[in-house]
Amino acid sequence: MSTDLGELMNRCRGSGLRRTKALEVLLGTLLKADRPMTLARLQKSRTLSSQCDKATIYRLLHRLADAGIVRRLGLHERAAYFALIIPDQHRDYLICTGCGTIDPIEAPCPVHHLEDEIRTKTGYQNLYHELEFFGTCPKCA
Amino acid sequence: MSTDLGELMNRCRGSGLRRTKALEVLLGTLLKADRPMTLARLQKSRTLSSQCDKATIYRLLHRLADAGIVRRLGLHERAAYFALIIPDQHRDYLICTGCGTIDPIEAPCPVHHLEDEIRTKTGYQNLYHELEFFGTCPKCA
DNA sequence: GTAATTGCAAATACTTTGCCACGTA
DNA sequence: TACGTGGCAAAGTATTTGCAATTAC
């Protein structure tokens, strides 16, 4: 784990966000989860639900996304997922289509080369990618 | 283009779907588009809007997904995207975060090896993946 | 004839915004 | 003090379902 709560708060301060209780609890929850979470899921988390409103979490997540501190992901659900961006660490995910479990993949991401190729061939800028594997986990099989 | 409308209809019949006007028009639209489309976008298509209701398109898309004829994709929008599955052809996409343009990527997909590795290491079955590149296209830059 | 399919309308689910009170800088 | 932030409630957008009429087989 190359990031802790204090460092995250500093990055937030650097982006002009204020040091509020809600922000701290939200970042702590995302950090502990170590995988993407939906707004609804975050809201149900013990600490967050007692500390702040759904709209607050929603707006914080979007501010954090603008600041480049969290990333918004699709992941095939109706609800949007959000995950912390850890500097110099790219994450892909393995998702069970049965129970919905989401696990980060340990293996190094194999598409950086293709990303470079696309950048030069198409002229797209600020490229990034999202890679997810879907399947049935052993428990659900 | 390795698939035509007749072949698609045959695959549908093979899965027990009935040969209806709505099905034919929907498949034709997806085939012509050659990229993922949202329900709303499909609905706006000239031919489809005059031929059938939103709920019909919705239900057809889901039956087609169950039959393995279309695939449901995330693609970062609030609305779900659907694309035809062409046998023996895997597609990844390049998406402009500015204007929302979606283009299929021509390059061969570089993650099949990792997919195999995940299969054996984790015991997940029916593995498939989704890979999207996001960036700013030259026009939007 | 029978069961799948369709259209219309109503119900959900999740997201997004308005407004005023509040807390941080 | 000033302005970003928070809570509550209402509005917006996309999805999903119920049911009676219709159509394919």
Sign of the torsion formed by the C-alpha atoms of A106, A111, A113 and A119: negative
Residues of B in contact with A76 (CB under 8 A): 72-74, 130
Report the mean per-residue pLDDT for chain A: 90
CB B24 within 8 A of CB B9: yes
Q: What is the pLDDT of residues B102-132, one digit of tens each?
A: 999 988 888 888 999 999 999 999 999 999 9
> What residues form DSSP beta bridges with A94?
A103, A133
Find out whether A95 and A19 touch, Cβ atoms under 8 Å: no
Nucleotide nearest to B17 (CA to C1'): C4
Q: What is the mean pLDDT of residues A27-44?
A: 93
Q: Kindly state the average pLDDT of the residues A61-78.
A: 91
Average pLDDT, chain B: 91
CATH 3.10.20.30 given to domain A90-141: no
What would the mean pLDDT of B15-24 be, rounded to a whole number?
Answer: 95
Closest to A47 measured CA to CA, from A62, A65, A27: A27
The mean pLDDT of B38-62, rounded to a whole number, is 91
Q: What is the pLDDT of residues A95-120, one digit of tens each?
A: 998 888 999 998 888 888 899 999 99
Q: Pairing state of beta strands A102-104 and B93-96? A: unpaired
Percentage above 90 pLDDT, chain B = 70
According to DSSP, the residues that pair with A102 across neighbouring strands are A95
pLDDT band at B135, cuts 50/70/90?
very high
Nearest by CB: A129 against B72, B115, B133: B133
Between A49 and B26, where is the model more confident? B26
pLDDT for A48 equals 82
**A74–B75: do the CB atoms touch at under 8 Å?**
yes
pTM over the 0.75 mark: yes
* Cβ atoms B110, A114 nearer than 8 A: yes
% of residues, chain A, pLDDT over 70:
99
Q: What is the number of other CB atoms lying within 10 angstroms of the CB of residue B132?
A: 21
Residues by Cβ under 7 A, strand C: A 13, 18-21, 38-40, 54-55, 58-59, 62, 78-80; B 16-18, 20-23, 51-56, 59-60, 63, 78
Per cent of chain B over pLDDT 70 is 99
- Which nucleotides in chain C lie less than 7 Å from some protein C-beta? 4-9, 13-18, 23-25
pLDDT single digits (tens) A36-48:
999 999 998 878 8
Angle at B92 between CA B91 and CA B96, to 5 degrees: 135
Instruction: For Cα atoms A130, A133, A134, give the angle at the middle one, nearest 5 degrees.
Output: 130
Domain coordinates of chain A in residue numbers? Answer: 1-88, 90-141
C-beta of residue B35 within 8 angstroms of C-beta of residue B103: yes
Kindly report the CATH class assigned to B1-88: mainly alpha
